[in-house]
């Protein structure tokens, strides 16, 4: 029995190693969550469901993604001037312009490892200097869409952008991702990561960048 168990373990290790050697490394560009969302819901023009601009004519209400906003703010749109200041759903300033918000970009590389996990490496630019961020995984096979911290536990999925708004982030994902998943970068406007939770969407947490796995 001991020899049988040893052989079984060795076979599993060889199988995992063979998979890691043959599974492709995938490199993807991030897109703004605003662009991704607008395309998914077939809007005629880009709209950001999670950041807002001042508009005195706008009544309080609950609109995209169920986010409730106060009177005097509305969702930011792609045709708003780049220099327009942006706010959260409660009317608190996010300390940046719409142009700065939408300027964020980057790439993500998914590298399968030998134990069924996936090494995720992100190179990000155009973030808010000194801004606090977390990385989550979308689960599109859940209804409504589910979100889990990319590291699986919410202990190593947060980072702070440098003084130029850049960051290189490496996280070991808890499992290998498929087309049912995406890598999601969340900005925390309260300056505090929320561990395994994203935070209050549109208030303290704002989806900024996303890359869906092909």
What is the model's pLDDT at position 116?
76
pLDDT tens digit sequence for 55-102: 999 999 999 999 999 999 999 999 999 999 999 999 999 999 999 999
Domain boundaries, the chain: 23-36+104-212, 44-100
Evaluate if residue 5 carries a pLDDT over 90.
no
Evaluate if residue 10 carries a pLDDT over 50.
no
Q: What is the pTM of this model?
A: 0.89
Rg (CA), the chain: 20
Q: Whats the size of the chain, residue-wise?
A: 214
In terms of Cα–Cα distance, which of 48, 101, 34, 39 is closest to 76? 48
What is the model's pLDDT at position 115?
77
What is the model's pLDDT at position 22?
57
Of 176 and 202, the structure prediction assigns the larger pLDDT to 202
What rounded mean pLDDT belongs to the chain? 91
Segment 16-35 shows an average pLDDT of 78
Evaluate if residue 19 carries a pLDDT over 50.
no
73: which 2 tokens? Answer: 């703010």
CATH class label, 23-36+104-212: mainly beta
Low-confidence winner among 2-6, 95-99, 206-210 (lowest mean pLDDT): 2-6
What Å distances lie between residue 87 and 20, 25, 91, 138, CA to CA? 44, 38, 5, 25
* Residue 10 CA, distance from chain mean position: 37
Q: Is 59 helix (H, G, I), strand (E, B) or coil?
A: coil
What is the model's pLDDT at position 24?
87
Low-confidence winner among 18-27, 69-78, 143-152 (lowest mean pLDDT): 18-27
> CA-to-CA distance for 19 and 57, rounded, in angstroms?
58
> CA-to-CA distance for 181 and 29, rounded, in angstroms?
15
């Amino acid at each position: 029995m001991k020899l049988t168990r040893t052989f079984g373990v060795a076979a599993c290790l060889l199988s995992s190693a063979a998979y890691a050697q043959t599974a492709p490394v995938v490199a993807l560009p991030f897109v703004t969550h605003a662009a991704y969302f607008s395309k998914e819901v077939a809007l005629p023009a880009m709209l950001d469901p999670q950041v807002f601009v001042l508009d005195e004519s706008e009544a309080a209400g609950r609109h995209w993604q169920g986010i409730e906003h106060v009177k005097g703010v509305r969702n930011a749109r792609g045709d708003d001037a780049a220099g327009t200041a942006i706010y959260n759903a409660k009317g608190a300033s996010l300390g940046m312009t719409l142009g700065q918000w939408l300027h964020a970009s980057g790439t993500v590389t998914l590298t399968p490892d030998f134990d069924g996990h996936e090494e995720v490496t992100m190179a990000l630019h155009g973030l808010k200097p000194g801004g606090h961020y977390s990385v989550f995984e979308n689960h599109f096979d859940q209804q409504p869409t589910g979100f889990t911290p990319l590291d699986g536990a919410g202990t190593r999925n947060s980072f702070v952008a440098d003084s130029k708004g850049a960051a290189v982030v490496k996280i070991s994902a808890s499992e290998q991702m498929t087309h049912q998943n995406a890598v999601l970068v969340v900005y925390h406007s309260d300056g505090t990561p929320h561990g395994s939770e994203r935070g209050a969407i549109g208030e303290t947490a704002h989806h900024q960048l996303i890359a869906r796995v092909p």
